[in-house]
Structure 1
Amino acid sequence: MKLVHQENQPDQSSALKREAAIKAMTRRGKLAMIQSKKKPAKGKREVARLEDIPNVGPAIAAALRRMGITTPAELLGRDPFAMYDVLCRLTGKRHDPCVLDTFMAAVRYMEGAPKKPWWKYTAERKRVMETRSLTK
């Protein structure tokens, strides 16, 4: 077996949270994460800190870190809806849907989409949520 991904975390608690977040990722997301560590893809942003991503302030950055996401590159290939679900599970409460919109904006920006305010993703979120509720 070959180790394909390794990260340093400041403490065991952070490492366990990051492990849980990685386990919650889709296969596509995991593969994208591995690829992003190897070489930056075209159109992807190189951003140093989470707070440097448009729409991500201290509160959203703290939420991302709580989920084990410590660098902007770790957003590549992530499912914002799954991220929102993980955050709600970790905190034991349902967060405002604008948090999900912000996750969508951050992930899309890191994947090369133009900078947009988080509320530009509200209509898309509502469409997806409606589709999901119809299929359940």
Structure 2
Amino acid sequence: MKQNAHNSADELQTIPGVGRATANDLRLLGIRRVKDLRDQDPEALYNQLTKRMGQPIDRCLLYVFRCAVYFASKTKHDPEKLKWWNWKDQVLDRQQKRL
């Protein structure tokens, strides 16, 4: 059983910006594989994790979740969107204003 957990952690770590700690956070939310993130709501995942941990969590994790859901949900990726810091609230606000 530990072997499966390790393998799923390795798969999750193929997502840009996701390391061991974030992979563990995702597993706490029932996310075991990249495909489990397809079409998920990053804000809902972040809120669920915050509630589960019982304490505030760095907002940067939300940005990583946004990037991870994008990665899992698309077959072709814009290289700039594979950088978690481009998913910050301010960056998204600027991009939407330009549209």
TM-score (norm 1): 0.54
Off by >4 Å, runs of 4+ in structure 1: 124-127
Aligned residues: 81
More helix by share: 2
The one-letter code of the counterpart of 2:19 is G
TM-score (norm 2): 0.74
What is the root-mean-square deviation in Å for CA atoms of aligned residues? Answer: 2.0
**Structure 1 residues 76 and 125 mapped into 2: Cα distance closer, same or farther (>3 Å)?**
farther
Q: Distance in 2 between matches of 1:125 and 1:92?
A: 28
Q: Return the match for 1:86 from 28, 34, 48.
A: 48
Within a 5 Å distance, the mapping from 1:73-112 to structure 2 comes to: 73-112=35-74
Residues 101 and 125 in structure 1, CA contact (< 8 A), matched pair in contact too: no
Matched, 1:121 2:83: no
Q: Distance in 2 between matches of 1:97 and 1:126?
A: 14
Residues 105 and 121 in structure 1, CA contact (< 8 A), matched pair in contact too: yes
Q: Unmatched 5+ residue regions in structure 2?
A: 2-9, 94-99
Identity %: 32
Q: Unmatched 5+ residue regions in structure 1?
A: 1-9, 11-47, 128-136
